[in-house]
Amino acid sequence: MIQKYRTSFNANFSEQKYQDFLTRITEGYPEITFRLAESPVFLPEELKQQLITAGNEIIALIKRDDFKEITQKAIPIDWKVPNENDHPHFLTFDFGVCSDEQGKIKPMLIEMQGFPSLYGFQNHLANTYKESFDLDQQLTPFFNGLNEESYFNLLKKVIVGVHQPQEVILMDVDALNQKTLIDFSVTANKLGIKILPLEEVKKEGKKLYYIEGDKKTPIKRIYNRLIFDEIADQTSIFENSFDPREEIEVEWVTHPNWFYRISKYTMPMLKGEFVPETKFLNELTELPHDLENYVLKPLFSFAGMGVIIDVKESDISVIKDPENWILQRKVTYQPIVQSPDGGVKVEIRLMYLWPDGEEPQLCINLARLSRGKMIGVRYNADFDWVGGTVGLMES
């Protein structure tokens, strides 16, 4: 989208360079099982400023004194975790790059989460694009004047806090076989923390620990990558470890309740230039006359699962729990990233860090390219110039 970089990149692109990029990015790291796009996104200043403004408007809602009160029903009763803290440590907001009525580029909010994303991997991804395609080293994935050193110092402050790295674990179910393992690995290498499957976390009274060799190490803080939605029918996995819903003496980064509070549940509460009209299904008194211009989304789902794009009245009539669904006006993505054979749609994820006792800070970004009906990698399996990538900006 910054034309000089796009023109130069496309003119010098080759399939061999892309294959070399794929080889280089996993050197010293696990294999990547999701598709990476052939190109980064070159974010222009005007779009960058729009994204910052849009993000600030969302944060203003999250920082309201009554935010916990108005989102209390977002947390499923069966998955409420005790000892919730005052704010999430991570915020991610996904924006589709669209156009307004005058045809000008404009970001529109698609999704939001109070849950971590690829905070370690995105810096590694940006560096590898720049090295593999000989890009201007002044291009950066960071906001707010951050560089690689200051960014990882901030990430360490958020994740490790006042503890020793060995007392902090990055936890997920079957952690070493997750698609995001490369992000886990980059993060662990940078911060010195341990990747630990839930199955290897042990409980003694209210305290947690893990065993390595003959040594028993206390766990003071959990960098949580476990999404409860994904294990809702597998609670037996807690039997040989610990149940997060019990009273335990551990700090969560970020506390699991924030995954629900900051989610699709929050979107109907937002109004503004960069937010599509969104309503809870159970609060509709009548359906829109132009239902084809809306998308139906379950509140609790992951990676776009359960979303109905071409909505019919019959889809709505069979829903037995309308309080767990939202109806959102469709946005039209503009194919503004020029590939060698046509335009490609793009989505930008703003990624914030919120240290204890400080303010949330916009730090880095993630981007996804798409030619399919939806942005997710699984919906673009048969295309090239699609998949995960990163936005690069002029510093």
- Rounded CA separation 347/333 (Å): 8
CB of 142 closer than 8 Å to CB of 390: no
**Residue of higher predicted confidence among 369 and 304:** 369
- Model confidence over 240-269: pLDDT tens digits? 899 999 999 999 999 999 999 999 999 999
What's the pTM? 0.94
CB of 355 closer than 8 Å to CB of 336: no
CB of 35 closer than 8 Å to CB of 386: yes
pLDDT at 29: 96
Q: Which SS3 state, helix, strand or coil, does residue 389 take?
A: strand
pLDDT at 234: 75
Residues paired with 155 in a beta bridge: none
pLDDT at 103: 83
- Model confidence over 94-121: pLDDT tens digits? 999 998 888 889 999 999 999 999 999 9
- Rounded CA separation 312/364 (Å): 38
**H helical segments located in 248-391:** 257-261, 313-317
Band of residue 3 on the pLDDT scale cut at 50, 70, 90: very high
- Rounded CA separation 50/59 (Å): 14
CA quadruple 386, 389, 390, 394: dihedral sign: negative
- Model confidence over 13-34: pLDDT tens digits? 999 999 999 999 999 999 999 9
**Residue of higher predicted confidence among 100 and 292:** 292
pLDDT at 265: 93
